Chains A and B, each alone.
Chain A
Amino acid sequence: MRLLPWTIYLSLAGAMLSLAAGRRSAAAARWVALGTAAAAWGLVLAAATGFSPSALPQTLVDLEWIPSMGGRYHLAADGISMTLLVLTGLAATAGILFSWNIGERTGEFFAFYLTLIAGVYGVFLSADALLFFVFYELAIVPKYFLIAIWGSTNREYGAMKLALYSFAGSALVLAGLLWAYATGGAHSFALADLASAAARFPAGQQVAMFALVFFGFAVLAGLFPFHTWAPTGHVAAPTGASMLLAGVVMKLGAYGCLRVAMPLFPAGLAFWQPAIAWLAIIGILYAGLVALVQDDCKFVIGYSSVSHMGFVMLGLAAANPRAVAGAVLQMFSHGVIAGLLFAVVGRMVYDRTHTRRLEDLRLLALYRLLPFAATVFVIAGLASMGFPGFSGFPAELSILMGAWQASPLWAAAAALGVLIAAAFTLRVVQLTFFGKSGDGESPARSGTSEASADAAWLLRDRETQARSAALSPITWPERAGAILLISAAVVIGLKPDLLLNWIVPSLQSPLFRAVIKGGAP
């Protein structure tokens, strides 16, 4: 356990080593990055095996940092942090595997990537609000460069929009946090101290401070209507970055809501609870409906991320142990599944066919040309729909049950989202991989001999046939990454207790008791 802070230091060191290795060769940079990410993940897993869940976070490091402001270098981990640390390591390793083909400025790519990962590890380990905020903002600038330099569609616009929205969100958080800190006597930034000070604030102030901090974090979590940066940014980002952004970075926002906003201002949560729940539900339904009509398959996945994060925010808003445990489980589950979806769409399909338009992809019948990709995408699609056997099912079920406890109407409305998710997932799977829908004919059926095909059909499809002939086979890093992610989704889907045994005890901590009330999960 004591070695957990080394995940941060290792990642930062790896970033600098990667930069240096990149000068020698791209391959050196890749291996350094993979080694670092795998080593950091290994540290997390090692800590996980010896982890005994308890209500209070276990302190790892507690050093004096800025005595004049009361900020300490305080790192701690509880069950919720461990869950998300495992997710970070997994997503980081898989992301690097899926970025194996980055050939230009490889060292810089992995340097930014590992710096981002270091920031994420730092957020999940912080127990001091100032330190939390420092790591949270540290993660913003690498995202900008990853998208602006190595991205695709509209990358400069997407990168700037993502960076500005993230920064604006964290500006709101800073305003709220500083206000709470100053009003509470300005002694300490420790989350426990801030919470006990804030408990004495008048309700009106708590409501205002909660609004600033919660909605500031919610921008990064993709809560409607602050979500518009997410589809644009994720589509613009290169594959490895999209996996990390949708998979882990959006969870930073939700984690901030859970760890900082909710325990500090319970009266504020009580006031804003219905608003947050309804915004989450609108996000689930609206983003799902938008995903249903997209022409670019990456946009479908981007909007589906917003929709799934809506479930997380609904779980947090319901504020009872079952819903919040489900929300944390959904954070893990969606992190894995979004990673899978973006990996297939970005790395396996787009890098080979150079098109993401469903209109084009439907003509290629990729299930024959890329059978591995098709299999992975079907599995990922099932998981995304919340199919039993994958991690999405226990997570969304838990959230819906918890939401029902808070208000049956919320659960009913959100359950529609599951239906819409099935619709857009089936549509995108079918159009991307399984050729023409409706008439049951596959254009590549006649692939054995061109002469035997209908002449008019041939003329129309010559270009697509030429393209499909050039598809390179699936490489070993892609296979490895896909197997990693699928295993995680299946293991947690079949035995969610592995994570719930960590998460549920953490919700018993005194900080959460004041705000997460309700029956036992």
Chain B
Amino acid sequence: MNSIPMVLGVLHGVSSPLTGALPLAAAELDYAGLARALRPETALVAGALAILGVDISFLRRAKAALRLRAAVAAASIAVVAALAFCLRTGSSGEVFGGVLVLDSLGTAARAALLCLTLVVLGVSAGAAVPRRPAEYCAIILFATAGFTLMAAAQQLLLAFLALELASLSLYVLAGFDLSSPKSAEAAMKYFLLGAISSAFLLFGFSLIYGLSGTIDLTQIAIVLARQGPSPLLTVALVMVLVAFGFKAAAAPFHLWAPDVYEGAPAPSAALIASGSKLAGIVLFTRLLWPGLGAVAGEVSSARSGAGWLPVLAILSGASLLLGNLAALAQTSLRRLLAYSAIAHAGALLLGVIVVGSSGPGPVFYYAATYGLATAGAFGIVGVLERTGGSLQIAGLAGLSRRSPLLAGCLLIFILSLAGVPPLAGFFGKFAVFAAALKLGGVAGPAGWLAVAAILLSTVALYYYLIVVKQAFVAPAPANPAPIAVSPVALATLVAAALAVIILGIFPSLLLGLF
């Protein structure tokens, strides 16, 4: 059951008594239902603990490579189990009195997040071996548990807890490479900025609670519809949007992205770029659209109303401009991917803007396929950096000779990011821009943003072509270092590339879920 249109229907003036801060009566506590709904998270956490236990007991003296393989294998089993549970439970609706909601968006997002984690685990088998592999994989699982909870949360407290669980895990993952000062710098920057934005978010949540008297999003929607905008609500909105901007790496809250993407170990960067983005988008979509939808405002025409939609439009435009233009100057592949992430964040924000009118389909498709492509790209970065150093674009020279499969996968991922049909990235952009133009043609900010994004995609093609040019056109260096790719990583990358192609040729596989 899709809760978003239901709540929007409720917003049209159905009055119901406030049920107070506690939305549940004692008789409604369905712990069995909660346990059933949380089976994926249970599997993930149990898997993480099992990995730690096994590693401490049996593998203390084994070589790091063996420990990594064992940890990745165990973690993958846990993720697959979680995926099976998630698909088994399906879209069952509200859980535990509305704390969680498993609607079509929630279930699809949870499944996509688990698949993205599988990709990240697969590429971590091919990247440089971390000092403590078991802890690494365990923390990836904790982060994933946080993501899946974020995707289903319908209550302010749970949303914040899930966000914190995921974020703290990601801070640790970013700084996992103890031998690299860049990794420590990345973790520190990520942590400081992330902690500040979490503080903003919590303060915003507390203001919303104060205004509405409840922490349940559906109830908040009803109360705010009745109350209308107020200065205090504006402050709360600003706080929430700041946190959203940080999470999505949108300008002007993007400053952490280039340094974190550059310093973190490649699989961590892959997870941050893919899973964290998708989970953040879903969480804030749920927060903004049903929750704060009453004070959304207008972007279909040039009349600027009060509300958070015009602010999102400004963030989106700034990210598109800054991300695309700054990426032109990059010589480091990781920083280029970071600025491209900022540009894509702009388009994703546009996707969030259109959720109110076109549903969550376009933005989900875009975020999921973008995550797949970026995770794959970082996976290739991880493989190529195995011998050390941060990959410069020039370091890709002659990749098509040195490893044709890797070059082929890189081509698919980069072209998907560039939005070249028939790959998935094109249809994601297409769906979002079509929905944006539906909001009122080119008369309003949504339409202008769509046209600007389409034109900026030509700029983006330039820097993406530079990357594949190095891989395919530039001659290989005189003594090319042999590229040893672990079979698991290679299989993961090929599977991800195939998924990008198939999801592109048959977009209905994902778009049809909504």
Contacts and interface: CB of A to CB of B under 8 A. Distances in A.
Interface string A204-227: 010000000000000000000000
Interface-central residue, A168, A172, A178, by most chain B CB under 10 Å? A178
A175 B433 CA distance: 9
Nearest to B440: A182
Interface string B426-462: 1100110110011001100001001100110110011
Contacts of A66: 427, 507-508, 511
A124 interface: no
Contacts of B441: 179, 182-183, 205
B450 A69 contact: no
Nearest to B411: A141
Counting chain A CB atoms within 10 Å of each CB, which of B421, B427, B457 scores highest? B421
Nearest to B419: A137
Contact of A186 (B415, B434, B473): B434
A160 to B, nearest CB: 6
A179 B437 contact: yes
A50 interface: no
Interface in A103-153: 108, 130, 133-135, 137-138, 140-141, 144-145, 148-149
Contacts of B81: none
Contacts of A179: 437, 441-442, 447, 451
B17 interface: no
A175 B508 CA distance: 22
B465 interface: yes
Interface in B262-296: none
Nearest to B466: A160
B422 A138 contact: yes
Contact of B472 (A133, A149, A175, A186): A149
Interface string A147-163: 01100000010001001
Given A66-B508, A137-B421, A182-B438, A149 B458 contact: no
A134 B420 CA distance: 8
A385 to B, nearest CB: 37
Contact of B512 (A68, A130, A148, A186): A68
A90 B59 CA distance: 66
B438 A186 contact: yes
A512 interface: no
B361 A68 contact: yes
A160 B462 contact: yes
A28 to B, nearest CB: 17
B455 A178 contact: no
A164 B461 contact: yes
Interface string B461-505: 110010001001100000000000000000000000000000000
A174 interface: yes
Contact of B458 (A133, A138, A145, A167): A167
Contact of A181 (B422, B434, B461): B434
Contact of B450 (A108, A168, A178): A178
Contacts of B473: 145, 148-149, 156
A145 B441 CA distance: 36
A455 B431 CA distance: 74
A144 B512 contact: no
Contact of A67 (B426, B437, B512): B512
A354 B386 CA distance: 44
Given A66-B511, A179-B442, A182-B434, A134 B421 contact: yes
Contact of A167 (B427, B450, B461, B514): B461
Given A133-B421, A163-B461, A182-B441, A69 B469 contact: no
A181 B436 CA distance: 12
A163 B465 contact: yes
Contacts of A65: 508
Interface in B392-434: 400, 415, 420-422, 426-427, 430-431, 433-434
A444 interface: no
A171 interface: yes
A487 to B, nearest CB: 36
A145 B470 CA distance: 11
B421 A175 contact: no
Given A133-B421, A138-B420, A141-B420, A174 B454 contact: yes
Contacts of B472: 145, 148-149
Interface string B363-382: 00000000000000000000
Nearest to B452: A175
Interface in A19-68: 65-68
Contacts of A135: 421
A178 B465 contact: no
A123 B512 CA distance: 26
Nearest to A64: B508
Contacts of B415: 141
Given A149-B473, A160-B465, A175 B438 contact: no
Contacts of A174: 430, 433, 454
Contacts of A186: 434, 438
A182 B458 CA distance: 22
Contact of A134 (B426, B438, B455): B426
Nearest to B365: A68
Contacts of A178: 430, 433-434, 437, 450, 454
Contacts of A183: 437, 441
Of A130, A134, A186, chain B has the most CB atoms within 10 Å of the CB of A134
B434 A144 contact: no
B465 A144 contact: yes
B431 A69 contact: yes
Given A134-B421, A141-B415, A167-B461, A175 B451 contact: yes
A77 B461 CA distance: 32
Contact of B511 (A68, A144, A167): A68
Contacts of A148: 469, 472-473
A171 B438 contact: no
A325 to B, nearest CB: 32
A134 B507 CA distance: 13
Interface string B327-369: 0000000000000000000000000000000000100000000
A168 B514 CA distance: 32
Interface string A170-190: 011011001101110010000
A339 B507 CA distance: 38
A140 B420 contact: yes
Of A141, A144, A168, A182, most B-chain CB atoms within 10 Å: A182
Contacts of A137: 420-421, 426
A436 B507 CA distance: 62
B461 A134 contact: no
A140 B420 CA distance: 9
A479 to B, nearest CB: 32
A62 to B, nearest CB: 16
Nearest to B461: A167
A355 B447 CA distance: 51
Nearest to A144: B465
Given A69-B434, A141-B415, A156-B473, A164 B420 contact: no
A168 B472 CA distance: 23
Contacts of B442: 179
A175 B462 CA distance: 19
Contacts of A156: 469, 473
Of B400, B465, B512, most buried by chain A (CB within 10 Å of CB) is B465
A182 B420 contact: no
Contacts of A69: 430-431, 434, 511
A499 to B, nearest CB: 30
Contacts of B512: 67-68
Nearest to B447: A179
Given A134-B426, A156-B473, A175-B450, 5 more contacts: A144-B465, A164-B461, A167-B461, A172-B455, A175-B455
11 contacts: A69-B431, A130-B430, A134-B421, A156-B473, A160-B469, A168-B455, A175-B450, A178-B450, A181-B434, A183-B441, A205-B441
The 8 closest A-B pairs by CB, nearest first: A182-B437, A134-B421, A182-B438, A168-B458, A148-B473, A68-B511, A175-B454, A167-B458
